[in-house]
């Protein structure tokens, strides 16, 4: 099994701002696994919040080379525990390899990855389009540049969050979802939920910091007028059960949990526990987005617009048309790098 690592620079159409900071471009790492002429692609991006750089990711990925030949004959599910140990428990690095391995495995079967898992492409949710934090005028401009979506996800965590949503609501009747990225207090979360519910907001994502006391999370869970979805509070498999009774649903990020293998298990466990399921993304190319899209048959909500936010995508794969996911004609995850 031959390993190739590609470094990509992803330019954004607009500066992307959340409560923790702002970026104008994103550095991405694409893993390519090749054996007998069949290639699998996986992606992970740098992340300052989680202390992940291209170099640290590359070093961790190279530590896995001894076990990569196993993917020629074994399923990614069987290899994953040893993969995680090989990369030194670097979940971000493991995710890129695991996505590539699932892509390789399904391409060898000449079927889409979701089909290789025994899933069916039916009743899949639409994706939202994300409006990053900016002045209200610029956020209105971003909304106007992407008309026709049925769902918009609004990044919040400012001193005037309710006003942002109120002003954006003047320009569309679409469903809103809001993501505070750990930026609210308990009182803000509860009070904001009441107003936001009247403004056509569907749910609130991660209002409190991940390390907030469980009693605070429980209070928001009970008193909020809107469902509360865990993001930073649900990174790994063990977090799913810990979120039961404190959140109404979970947002799985593939890079945080270590790949598609654990993501499938997390989503299925959440369904068993009666929780709502969602998959989100980072700013990434169509390689990563196409991998995440394979999970759509397991989801209630989707936020897969990472490549749509780019001014130039160095890859091709699944496409979003006003939130509707259009599958690639290629097997596996359906992505390929452009020359």
Length of the chain: 339
pLDDT at 284: 97
pLDDT at 19: 63
Residues 1-20: b if buried by 16+ CB within 10 A, e if exposed: beeeebebebebebebbbbe
Which CA distances in Å does 100 have to 44, 63, 110, 157, 226?
Answer: 11, 16, 15, 35, 37
Q: How many other β-carbons are positioned within 10 Å of the β-carbon of residue 154? A: 25
Q: How many other β-carbons are positioned within 10 Å of the β-carbon of residue 123? A: 8
pLDDT at 14: 84
Structure tokens at 156: 């919040």
Q: Which of 251, 245, 258 is nearest to 229 (CA)?
A: 251
Q: What is the per-residue DSSP string for 2-63?
A: EEEEEEEEEEEEEEEEETTEEEEEEEEEEEEEEETTEEEEEEEE-BTTTTB-HHHHHHHHHT
Structure tokens at 337: 């790098």
Can you give the pLDDT of all 339 residues of the chain as single tens digits?
Answer: 999 999 999 999 888 877 667 788 999 999 999 999 999 999 999 998 889 999 999 999 999 999 999 999 999 999 999 999 999 999 999 999 999 999 999 999 999 999 999 999 999 999 999 999 999 999 999 999 999 999 999 999 999 999 999 999 999 999 999 999 999 999 999 999 999 999 999 999 999 999 999 999 999 999 999 999 999 999 999 999 999 999 999 999 999 999 999 999 999 999 999 999 999 999 999 999 999 999 999 999 999 999 999 999 999 999 999 999 999 999 999 999 997
Asked if residue 134 lies in contact with residue 168, where contact means CB atoms within 8 angstroms, the answer is no
Question: Strand locations in the chain, DSSP E?
Answer: 2-18, 21-35, 38-45, 129-131, 151-155, 175-179, 201-205, 228-230, 249-252, 276-279, 301-302, 315-316, 319-321, 324-326, 336-337
Which CA distances in Å does 329 have to 96, 290, 312, 313, 316?
Answer: 22, 12, 21, 18, 11
Q: Can you tell me whether residue 277 is helix, strand or coil? A: strand
pLDDT at 22: 77
Structure tokens at 163: 């006003």
Structure tokens at 336: 């390929």
Structure tokens at 31: 């893993």
Q: Can you tell me whether residue 178 is helix, strand or coil? A: strand
CA distance 188 to 231: 18
Q: From edge to edge, which strands make up the β-sheet containing 2-18?
A: 2-18, 21-35, 38-45
């Amino acid at each position: 099994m031959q390993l190739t690592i590609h470094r990509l620079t992803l330019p954004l159409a607009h500066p992307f701002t959340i409560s923790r900071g702002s970026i104008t471009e994103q550095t991405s790492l694409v893993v390519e696994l090749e054996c007998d002429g069949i290639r699998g692609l996986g992606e992970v991006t740098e992340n300052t919040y989680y202390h992940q750089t291209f170099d640290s990711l590359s070093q961790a990925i190279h530590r896995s080379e001894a076990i990569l030949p196993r993917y020629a004959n074994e399923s990614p599910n069987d290899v994953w525990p040893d993969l995680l140990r090989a990369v030194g428990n670097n979940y971000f690095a493991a995710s890129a390899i695991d996505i590539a391995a699932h892509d390789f495995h399904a391409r060898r079967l000449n079927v889409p990855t979701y089909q290789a898992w025994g899933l069916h492409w039916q009743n899949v949710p639409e994706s939202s389009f994300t409006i990053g934090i900016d002045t209200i005028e610029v956020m209105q401009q971003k909304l106007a540049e992407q008309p026709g979506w049925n769902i918009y996800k609004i990044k919040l965590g400012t001193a005037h969050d309710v006003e942002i949503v109120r002003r954006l609501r003047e320009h569309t009747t679409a469903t809103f979802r809001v993501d505070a990225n750990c930026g609210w207090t308990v009182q803000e979360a509860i009070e904001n939920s009441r107003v936001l519910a009247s403004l056509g907001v569907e749910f609130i994502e991660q209002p409190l910091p991940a390390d907030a006391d469980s009693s605070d999370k429980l209070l928001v869970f009970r008193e909020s007028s809107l469902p509360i979805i865990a993001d930073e509070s649900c990174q790994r498999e063990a977090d799913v059960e810990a979120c039961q009774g404190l959140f109404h649903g979970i947002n799985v990020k593939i890079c945080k949990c270590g790949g598609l293998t654990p993501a499938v298990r997390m989503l299925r466990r959440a369904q068993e526990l009666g929780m709502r399921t969602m998959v989100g993304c980072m700013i990434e190319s169509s390689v990563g987005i196409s991998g995440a899209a394979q999970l759509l048959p397991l989801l209630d909500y989707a936020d897969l617009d990472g490549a749509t936010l780019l001014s130039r995508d160095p890859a091709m794969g699944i496409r979003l048309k006003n939130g509707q996911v259009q599958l690639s004609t290629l097997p596996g995850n359906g992505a390929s790098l452009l020359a």
